[in-house]
Structure 1
Amino acid sequence: MRLPGNTLGAFRAYFFGFFVCTAGFLFGYDTGIVGGILTFDSYKHDFGYTDKTTVSAVMVSLQNVGAFIAALGIFPISMRFGRKKTIQASMTLFCLGVILQVVPSHSLVCFYIGRVVSGLGLGGGTAVVPTYSAEMAPKEIRGMVGSGVQMLFALGVMLSYWIDYAVEITLPGQSKQWQIPVGLQLVPAAVLGLGLFTQPESVRWLAKNDRWEDAWESLKWMRASDGPEVKAEFNEIRAGLAEELRATQGFTKRELLEPANRYRLMLGIGMFMGQQCTGMTALAYFGPQFFKLIAGSDNQQSLLITGLFGAEKFVTVTIYIFFFSEMWGRKPTLWVSALLMAACFIIVTVVNQTTPKPNDKATPAGIATVAMIFLTNSIYQFSWGPLPWPYTSEIFPSRIREIGTSASVSTQWLFNFLFSLVTPYMMASWSSYTFLFYAILDIIMAILVWFFAKETKGKSLEEMESIFHSNAAFDVDAARRDVLKDDFDEVNVHHKTSDDRS
Structure 2
Amino acid sequence: MARFYIQGVPIGYMAIMLTILASLGGFIFGYDTGQISDILLMEDFIQRFGTCSVPGDASSCQFSIVREGLIVSLLSVGTLTGALSGAKVADFLGRRRAMTTACVVFIVGVIVQIVASHSWVQFAMGRMISGLGVGALSAAVPMYQAETAPPQIRGTLTATYQLFISFGILIAYCVAIGTRNVSGSGSWRIVVGIGMLWAISLGISTFFMPESPRWLTARGKFPEAKRSLARAWGIPLQEAEENWKIHRELVDMQCALELESQVTAGWIDCFKPEGKVLYRTLLVMTIQMFQQLTGANYFFYYGATIFQSVGLKDSYITQIILGAVNFFATFGGLYVMEKYGRRLPLIIGAVWQSGWLFVFAAAGTVKDPKTDANIGKLMIISACLYIFGFALAWSPGPWILTGETFPMRTRSMQASLSAASNWIWSFLLAFFTPFIVKNIQFRYGFIFAACNLLSAGIIYLFLYETSGLSLENLDTMYCDPACRPWTSRAWVPPGLSSPTDISDIQEKPTVDMDSKIDV
- When normalised by structure 2's length, the TM-score is 0.87
Number of residue pairs the alignment of both structures matches: 476
1:431 aligned counterpart, secondary structure? helix
**Rounded Cα–Cα distance in structure 2 between residues aligned with 1:397 and 1:340:** 32
What do residues 99-155 of structure 1 show as CA deviations (whole Å, max 9, x unaligned)? 110114322122122111111111111111111110000001111011111100110
Consecutive unaligned residues of structure 1, counting only runs of 5 or more, are: 489-502
**Equivalent residue for 2:56?**
none
Q: Which residue of the other structure, out of 51, 72, 77, is the alignment partner of 2:84?
A: 72
The one-letter code matched in structure 1 to 2:330 is: V
**Rounded Cα–Cα distance in structure 1 between residues aligned with 2:34 and 2:76:** 14
Q: Which residue of the other structure, out of 287, 311, 322, is the alignment partner of 2:324?
A: 311
* Alpha-carbon distance, 1:394 to partner: 0.7
Structure 1 residue 251 corresponds to structure 2 residue 265:
yes
**Rounded Cα–Cα distance in structure 2 between residues aligned with 1:480 and 1:234:** 14
Instruction: Check the 8 A contact 1:83/1:128 in 2, yes or no.
Output: yes
Instruction: Check the 8 A contact 1:395/1:456 in 2, yes or no.
Output: yes
Structure 1 residue 154 corresponds to structure 2 residue 156:
no
* Alpha-carbon distance, 1:342 to partner: 1.0
**Rounded Cα–Cα distance in structure 1 between residues aligned with 2:297 and 2:379:** 18
* Alpha-carbon distance, 1:476 to partner: 6.9
The one-letter code matched in structure 2 to 1:328 is: Y
**Equivalent residue for 1:280?**
296
Structure 1 residue 330 corresponds to structure 2 residue 352:
no
Structure 1 residue 177 corresponds to structure 2 residue 187:
yes
Instruction: Check the 8 A contact 2:267/2:413 in 1, yes or no.
Output: no
**Equivalent residue for 1:493?**
none
1:142 aligned counterpart, secondary structure? helix
**Equivalent residue for 2:5?**
2
Amino-acid identity (%): 26
The one-letter code matched in structure 2 to 1:234 is: L
The one-letter code matched in structure 1 to 2:319 is: T
Structure 1 residue 429 corresponds to structure 2 residue 439:
yes
2:507 aligned counterpart, secondary structure? helix
The one-letter code matched in structure 2 to 1:250 is: T
The one-letter code matched in structure 2 to 1:21 is: S
**Rounded Cα–Cα distance in structure 1 between residues aligned with 2:495 and 2:316:** 52
Matches within 5 A, 1:59-208: 59-168=71-180, 170-171=181-182, 173-208=183-218
1:462 aligned counterpart, secondary structure? helix
Q: Which residue of the other structure, out of 290, 301, 304, is the alignment partner of 2:306?
A: 290
**Rounded Cα–Cα distance in structure 2 between residues aligned with 1:228 and 1:2:** 16
Structure 1 residue 219 corresponds to structure 2 residue 193:
no
**Equivalent residue for 1:491?**
none
Instruction: Check the 8 A contact 1:62/1:417 in 2, yes or no.
Output: yes
* Alpha-carbon distance, 1:231 to partner: 2.4
**Equivalent residue for 2:277?**
261
The one-letter code matched in structure 2 to 1:100 is: V
Instruction: Check the 8 A contact 1:312/1:378 in 2, yes or no.
Output: yes
What do residues 72-116 of structure 1 show as CA deviations (whole Å, max 9, x unaligned)? 122112111111111100100000000110114322122122111
Instruction: Check the 8 A contact 2:27/2:168 in 1, yes or no.
Output: yes
Distance change >3 Å, CA 103–CA 5, structure 1 → 2 = farther
Greater shift after overlay, 109-118 or 476-485?
Answer: 476-485
Q: Which residue of the other structure, out of 253, 257, 279, is the alignment partner of 1:237?
A: 253
Instruction: Check the 8 A contact 1:5/1:224 in 2, yes or no.
Output: no
Instruction: Check the 8 A contact 1:5/1:223 in 2, yes or no.
Output: no
The one-letter code matched in structure 2 to 1:351 is: A
Distance change >3 Å, CA 252–CA 358, structure 1 → 2 = closer
* Alpha-carbon distance, 1:19 to partner: 1.4
**Rounded Cα–Cα distance in structure 2 between residues aligned with 1:470 and 1:393:** 21
* Alpha-carbon distance, 1:483 to partner: 6.9
The one-letter code matched in structure 1 to 2:369 is: K
**Rounded Cα–Cα distance in structure 2 between residues aligned with 1:477 and 1:80:** 35
- When normalised by structure 1's length, the TM-score is 0.90
Distance change >3 Å, CA 214–CA 95, structure 1 → 2 = same
**Rounded Cα–Cα distance in structure 1 between residues aligned with 2:145 and 2:253:** 15
Instruction: Check the 8 A contact 1:68/1:413 in 2, yes or no.
Output: yes
Instruction: Check the 8 A contact 1:97/1:118 in 2, yes or no.
Output: yes
* Alpha-carbon distance, 1:320 to partner: 2.3
1:200 aligned counterpart, secondary structure? coil
Structure 1 residue 20 corresponds to structure 2 residue 22:
yes
Matches within 5 A, 1:348-387: 348-358=360-370, 363-387=373-397
Distance change >3 Å, CA 470–CA 75, structure 1 → 2 = farther
1:459 aligned counterpart, secondary structure? coil
**Rounded Cα–Cα distance in structure 2 between residues aligned with 1:481 and 1:325:** 23
What do residues 196-254 of structure 1 show as CA deviations (whole Å, max 9, x unaligned)? 00001110001101111221122222223113322222222222222333xx4332555
**Equivalent residue for 1:494?**
none
**Rounded Cα–Cα distance in structure 1 between residues aligned with 2:507 and 2:184:** 69
**Rounded Cα–Cα distance in structure 1 between residues aligned with 2:6 and 2:215:** 22
1:2 aligned counterpart, secondary structure? strand
Distance change >3 Å, CA 358–CA 233, structure 1 → 2 = same
* Alpha-carbon distance, 1:424 to partner: 1.7
* Alpha-carbon distance, 1:456 to partner: 0.9
**Rounded Cα–Cα distance in structure 1 between residues aligned with 2:402 and 2:305:** 32
**Rounded Cα–Cα distance in structure 2 between residues aligned with 1:310 and 1:345:** 17
